[in-house]
Every structure is written in C-alpha cells, then in structure tokens.
Amino acid sequence: MNAARAAVRNWFSARRESAGALPVRDHIDVAGVRPVRLLAFDQTLVAVVGALVALGVVMVYSASVALPDNPKFAAYSQAFFLQRHVLSLAIAFVVALVTVQVPISFWEKQAPVIFVIALLLLVVVLVPFIGKVVNFSRRWIPLGIMNFQPSELAKLAIALYAANYMVRRMDARENFFRAVTPMVVAVAFVGALLLRQPDMGAFIVIATIAMGILFLGGVNLRGFILIAAVIIVTFALLIAFDDLRRERILAYLDPWNPKYAQGKGYQLTHSLIALGRGEFFGQGLGSSVEKLHYLPEAHTDFLLAVIGEELGFVGVATVIVLFFWLTRRIFHIGRQAIALDRVFAGLMCQGIGIWVGFQAFINMGVNLGVLPTKGLTLPLMSYGGSAILMNLVALTMVLRVDIENRALMRGGRA
C-alpha cells in the first residue's frame, strides 16, 4: 500500500515538475495556505453535477405532475413537488456555498463530533411524536421547510469518521482485529438504529462505505474478505427471518408470477413496463403512461423508469454515463489527495465516491430489475429534501479537496 501510494505521489510530482511547479513536499499544512483561490476548481465536475440536478428537476416535475389526480394528493397543486424540490435545491445550494469555504482540516477534526450528532439524530427520529411515519417507516424529522432524514447525514458522517479513524489508527492497519473492531461496533450500532426505522437500504450503503474505506485505508485482504463474509451472512439472516424482506426477494426472482404481480412485485413489473415502452428514443418528455398512478413512487425511487419511458434508452444511458464519470472523477481526486500526503481528504473523497456510485448502482439495478426492490433514491435527481442537501454538501467537500489539491500542486502558492 505504501509503495503504491509513493508511486502515485511520484507520478504527480513528476507531472508538476515538468510543468515548472515546485516539488511536492512530504507534509504540507493545507490550512496554512492562504488564501485558497476558489476560482481554480474542477469545472467539468460542477457541470456534470449541474446536468444531473437539472435533469432531475425536469423529470421530478414530469413524474409528479399528475399526482393531484390521486385522492391522496388532491390537496396539492400540479407543481407542488416541483416547488418543494426547487426549494430544497435552493437551500442545498446556499449550504454548499458555505461548505466550499471550509478547509478540509476542519472536517477532519470534527469528524467524531459529526458522527455522534448523526447517531443522536438516528435515536431522536425513533421517538414517537418526533419522527414522521411514511409508508410504515419512521425515517424523517419534520423541520417545516423540509423533512430531514438522519440516515442521509449518517452516510456522510460514516465517510468522515471512517477516514478520520484510519488516519488515527494507521499503525494498526496490519492487525485486522485492532483495525476493524471499533469500526464494526460503530457500523453495527448505526445498523441497529436504521433497522428500527426500518431502513435496510441505508444500512447497506453505510456498511459499504465503511468497508470500502477500511479496504482503501490499508486493512489486509484476508481481513477484508472475512468482514465482508460476516456482513453478507448478517444481511442473509435479516432477510431469512423477516417475512416482508423474504417476500421482496421472491417477488424480485419472479415478478410476473400472479402471486406477486399485484403485490410485492407490483412496482418492479410496472417499472419494467415503463422501460419497455421507452424503446430507444422514448415516448417523449411528459408522455409517460406509467406515472399516471400505475407506478408508485415514480418521482422518488423509480424516477429512472420514468426517464426510460419518456427519454428511452438514450436517456437512461446518458444518466448511467454521467454517474460513471462522476464516480470515477471523485476517486481520481481522492487518489490525488493521497498522493499529496492528504490521507484523510483522499479517503473521505473515496468514501463519498462509494456512496454516490453504489447508491446510484442500487437504484438503477432496482429500476432495471437487476436487484431486489429497495427504498433508495437516485442521488442528485430523485425528489427529496435531505437527500439532495447531503448529496450536494458531500460533493462540495470533494470540490474543496480538489481546490486544495490544485493549490498544493502550484507549490503552495495560492
């Protein structure tokens, strides 16, 4: 691991020297580089995020415009969900502008505090009369202007905490039990709280983020395989001993079976119908039939199915390519930070990359019938206030890492 990191760092150093910049120093205090010019940032990254957000706004409106025809939403206007979504984006944009001003060194110091706050909110949301119940799940805390979902904060918190932990325990990385036991306990505690909501989808994402950072941080391969096996067995047992989860798996395996087609397989079958109707170029923007009260949660979990029906294979492929590029770019920024001896910043970026890429993969897999139905939204695109907020905050942190990387690669001259 150290040899690979040194090779990557030497490669970046050679590129900088060939461009006339000063050599990379072994240890540089980024907080001491003043001022960091925020104009030097990855404009393509911002453009890709902006494209996903903009397409999400259009498709959320298209998918939700007919909802007031349903008696359940009769009190809402046709633009209700669009207005709420745009309001959430406006709040997220303001918070992102503030976040980009904050040095990564601050997040490194405050990572344990943020993790504790996330745990407290996961407890608070379970308290009756505080947590809001939607579809039999208690996952939201009403805040007036939006319903905040603590599990979204927990995803960012685990990325920060795991990266901070691996930096602090770097000397223990080769000892499997010393390296992973505290993290396993932390993830298990978060998982217990999430399963009480219940929100198994968020637990899967959080466990994957933690495992990914442990592996990228240097935990030996045998230990990583062991902990992965334990987690897989745990999820298998959770499914085996829960009738609802077991029914979802059976419905996923045979969604067209009359036993499941009008029950647990209903969403999947209508998602597949929507995607099939889209063919190559789609039925046209606004022309989806499945969103007309056939496909539940069309503006949240199954937004990709509406994209497929209205924009066809071209639209779905475009979304997949954008998410692939975004995830790859986040990992590149993380590797660049590690090459500059900024291990926390690098691991944090890679944890966020795992979060965005893996959650997008699960959502797409569910919509396409490749994975069992799971209540996870499409990052940056699906309707949801706290999800959009935390997605943009996390990506703004990645952007800040890139800005600081660029400042250091200019030899510390801002």
Q: Percentage helix, strand, coil, to 5, in the chain?
A: 70, 5, 30
Q: Report the pLDDT value the prediction gives residue 56, as an integer from 0 to 100.
A: 96
Q: Give every CB contact of residue 27 below 8 A, 6+ residues apart in sequence.
A: 341
Label residue 28 by pLDDT band (50, 70, 90): very low
What is the residue whose two structure tokens read 């399963």?
Answer: 195
Label residue 221 by pLDDT band (50, 70, 90): confident
Among the residue ranges 18-27, 102-111, 140-149, 391-400, the one predicted with the least confidence is 18-27
Among the residue ranges 107-116, 133-142, 150-159, the one predicted with the least confidence is 133-142
pTM: 0.87
Nearest to 357 by CA among 375, 376, 340, 339: 376
pLDDT in tens, 62-81: 999 988 888 888 888 889 99
Please state, for a pLDDT cut of 90, what percent of the chain lies above it.
Answer: 52
Q: Report the pLDDT value the prediction gives residue 242, as an integer from 0 to 100.
A: 75
- Higher-confidence residue: 200 or 306? 306
Judged against a pLDDT cut of 50, whether residue 129 lies above it is answered with yes
Q: Report the pLDDT value the prediction gives residue 123, as an integer from 0 to 100.
A: 94
DSSP 252-264: HHSTTSHHHHTTT
- The one-character DSSP state at 220 is -
- Residue 406, Ramachandran bin (φ over 0: left; ψ between -120 and 50: alpha; else beta): alpha
Q: Give every CB contact of residue 257 below 8 A, 6+ residues apart in sequence.
A: 251, 265
**Residue 294: how many CB atoms within 10 A of its CB?**
16
Judged against a pLDDT cut of 70, whether residue 36 lies above it is answered with no
**Residue 196: how many CB atoms within 10 A of its CB?**
13
Among the residue ranges 135-139, 268-272, 334-338, the one predicted with the least confidence is 135-139
pLDDT in tens, 143-193: 888 889 999 999 999 999 999 998 887 655 556 666 677 888 888 889 889
What is the residue whose two structure tokens read 């939006």?
Answer: 146
Judged against a pLDDT cut of 70, whether residue 58 lies above it is answered with yes
Helix (H, G, I), strand (E, B) or coil at 409: helix
